[in-house]
Amino acid sequence: MSKVVIIMWKPDRSSTQTLYHQIADEIERRISYGEYPPGSLLPSERKLAEQLGVNRSTVILAYEELRALGIIESRTGSGTRVCKNKWEATPKHTPNWHRYVEGGQFLPNLFYLRRIREALQKDGMIDFASGELSAQLSPGQEISTLMKENPFTEYLGYDNPQGFTPLREELVSYLSRYRQIKTTDSSILITSGSQQSLYLITQCLLAPGDAVAIEDPSYCYSLPMFQSAGLRLFRLPVSPEGIDPEDIRSLYKKNRIKMIFLNPTFQNPTGICLNPARRTQLLNVASELGLPIVEDDPFSLTSYDGDPPAPLKSHDQLGSVLYIGSFSKIAASGLRVGWMVAPHSVVERLADARQQMDFGLSVVPQKIAAQFLHSNFFLPHLEQLRMRLLYRRDLLVEALQTELPDLVTFTLPQGGLHLWCKIVPEINDNQLFEEALRRGVVVAPGSVYGSDSGYIRFTFARPKEAEITLGVAKFASALRAVLS
Ligand SMILES: Cc1ncc(COP(=O)(O)O)c(C=O)c1O
């Protein structure tokens, strides 16, 4: 019987590399140095897990990786061995995919976002974490009626990368009617959600090393895309009135910031609106310093009283504001229709980048969006959406007040999909997150948005209405368990 190789080594738990990658790398290295020759028998998964002090599932992943690379093979009855073929005279080498996967410039998603995605694969979880509308709040019925009434006849070739002209024309009236923004179709770029506008701006208008200001907390912290682009991030604290424009002046002096990213209306995650006086002051400071502002405005039309503050863009005399809108939070995130209103030179530059990236968004969702905006369904849908969101917000608030009267505080949002909740006693975020998961509830910890520990973002648009009260009861039981 062959002897099992001995692995005298321990993974480094403080390393940023995952444990299973470390194990796979180490075994591969030792095999290539000849320490474990072809045919040698490796320890069983259970034995190796014991030796290394890790879970068996971690060793299973490491072995899977090495098997996929053709470095080891496992046979029932004869265990896991170093492959013979791989090291013959004319070996066929499988590329080492995990080196490639780790080598790219685009950083992986944040730990909690990956954990949330994984948790939501399980049936029956109550989802307070996904920042989108539930099926009940989306206009599925209306869109399907429109599609039946208007068969698709458009030519399905590569379209203008700037976006489908009928949608851009529709957006000109939409922006004027609902957001007091006067523009033309040549100043609009259609993107795959607002997310792509943010991506294009970070990639095409900024360079590695550039400093930018973002709100604190901010949705932007949930996007490693800013770090992937090599940008240096500076914080603008959000108070109940929004950010303080004077902070921009000092950031500019100290750090030469080049751009400001804001979500001034029903901000994600806090739900706060930048107050009108500060909006004026902000535009003045930005124009004095010649600084562009990215106004990310996906939530304004969810305003529960139907009267959101006017966007910065509607007062932008100098063309300093790049305005981003989206269909995601008012209709359907899966259509992936977003838009940017910007000076023509910017639109042209970004449309050129779109052509290189993906030749522009598919015409199909663009046509659906154009029809929906044009139809008599749009306004009643918005009114219904606002009413249902307000109802859900109140359900959530009532449940939190009943279940956790002294343990949480929050400010009531007047629009948007989120409630930003502070847990009063000091708490370990990770324990609370995992304890809630065990009880079937998924929440987004505040650290995802760059905040200190002890905050939770509850999205009340995503779970079913009937799940909200139950979800809070389960969350409350998780919180009590952590505190005790
Ligand atoms: C403030 C903000 N901006 C942009 C996005 C991206 O949305 P989408 O790409 O679906 O339009 C989100 C999504 O949650 C958001 O909250």
Are 278 and 162 in a shared domain? yes
- The arithmetic mean of pLDDT across residues 60-66, rounded, is 93
- The arithmetic mean of pLDDT across residues 317-336, rounded, is 97
DSSP string covering 328-349, please? Answer: TTTT-GGG-EEEEE--HHHHHH
Q: What is the pLDDT of residue 375?
A: 97
Are 182 and 158 in a shared domain? yes
- Residue 258 belongs to a domain: yes
Closest ligand 1 atom to residue 333 Cα is 10
Residues 112/115/120/125 CA torsion (nearest 10 deg): -80
C-alpha distances out from residue 264 to 201, 272, 340, Å: 18, 8, 16
- Residue 363 belongs to a domain: yes
Residue 280 has pLDDT above 70, yes or no: yes
Domain count, the chain: 3
Are 92 and 160 in a shared domain? no
Closest ligand 1 atom to residue 195 Cα is 9
Strand order in the sheet with 41-42: 41-42, 79-82, 72-75
| Cβ within 8 Å of residue 7, ≥6 positions away | 26, 27, 30, 43, 48, 51, 52
* Ligand 1 center from residue 131 Cα (angstroms): 8
Q: What is the pLDDT of residue 87?
A: 54
Q: Pick the last residue of a domain from 376, 405, 421.
A: 376
Strand 441-442, strand 126-127: pairing: parallel
- Residue 222 belongs to a domain: yes
Closest ligand 1 atom to residue 326 Cα is 11
Are 355 and 401 in a shared domain? no
Beta bridge partners of 215: 236
- Residue 211 belongs to a domain: yes
Residues 393/412, Cβ–Cβ less than 8 Å: yes
Closest ligand 1 atom to residue 219 Cα is 1
Q: Is the CB of 333 under 6 A from ligand 1?
A: yes
- The arithmetic mean of pLDDT across residues 71-80, rounded, is 90
Are 152 and 29 in a shared domain? no
Are 118 and 250 in a shared domain? no
CATH number (domain holding residue 249): 3.40.640.10
CATH number (domain holding residue 117): 3.90.1150.10
Q: What is the pLDDT of residue 438?
A: 96
Q: Pick the last residue of a domain from 353, 376, 399.
A: 376
Residue 116 has pLDDT above 50, yes or no: yes
pLDDT band at 89 (very low <50, low <70, confident <90, very high): very low
- Residue 9 belongs to a domain: no
pLDDT band at 93 (very low <50, low <70, confident <90, very high): low
- Residue 2 belongs to a domain: no
Are 65 and 161 in a shared domain? no
- The arithmetic mean of pLDDT across residues 8-25, rounded, is 89
Are 226 and 145 in a shared domain? yes
Of the candidates 306, 304, 240, the one whose C-alpha atom is nearest the C-alpha of residue 267 is: 240
> What single-letter DSSP state applies at residue 59?
H
Q: What is the pLDDT of residue 1?
A: 57
> What single-letter DSSP state applies at residue 265?
S
Residue 90 has pLDDT above 60, yes or no: no
Q: What is the pLDDT of residue 99?
A: 75
Of the candidates 181, 132, 180, 142, the one whose C-alpha atom is nearest the C-alpha of residue 380 is: 142
Q: Which structural domain, as residue segments, surrounds residue 449?
A: 111-136+380-483
- Residue 271 belongs to a domain: yes
- Residue 248 belongs to a domain: yes
Q: Residue for token digits 């052509």?
A: 355
pLDDT band at 88 (very low <50, low <70, confident <90, very high): low
Q: What is the pLDDT of residue 94?
A: 63
Are 184 and 281 in a shared domain? yes
* Ligand 1 center from residue 122 Cα (angstroms): 24
Q: Is the CB of 371 under 6 A from ligand 1?
A: no
Residues 440/128, Cβ–Cβ less than 8 Å: no
* Ligand 1 center from residue 340 Cα (angstroms): 13
Are 263 and 216 in a shared domain? yes
Report how far residue 276's alpha carbon sits from residue 265's, in angstroms, rounded to the nearest whole number.
11
Q: Pick the last residue of a domain from 348, 376, 404.
A: 376
Are 334 and 274 in a shared domain? yes
Q: What is the pLDDT of residue 91?
A: 52
Are 24 and 67 in a shared domain? yes
| Cβ within 8 Å of residue 12, ≥6 positions away | 22
- The arithmetic mean of pLDDT across residues 349-372, rounded, is 96
- The arithmetic mean of pLDDT across residues 35-50, rounded, is 91
Query: Which range (155-159, 175-179, 260-264, 467-471) has the least confidence?
Result: 155-159
In the chain, the percentage of residues whose pLDDT exceeds 90 is 84
pLDDT band at 70 (very low <50, low <70, confident <90, very high): confident
Residue 160 has pLDDT above 50, yes or no: yes
Helix axes 165-179, 363-374, angle to 10 degrees: 40
Residues 460/395, Cβ–Cβ less than 8 Å: yes
DSSP string covering 420-484, please? Answer: EEEESS---HHHHHHHHHHTTEE-EEGGGGTPPSSEEEEESSSS-HHHHHHHHHHHHHHHHHHH-
Residues 285/319, Cβ–Cβ less than 8 Å: no
Write out pLDDT tens, residues 186-245.
999 999 999 999 999 999 999 999 999 999 999 998 899 999 999 999 999 999 999 999
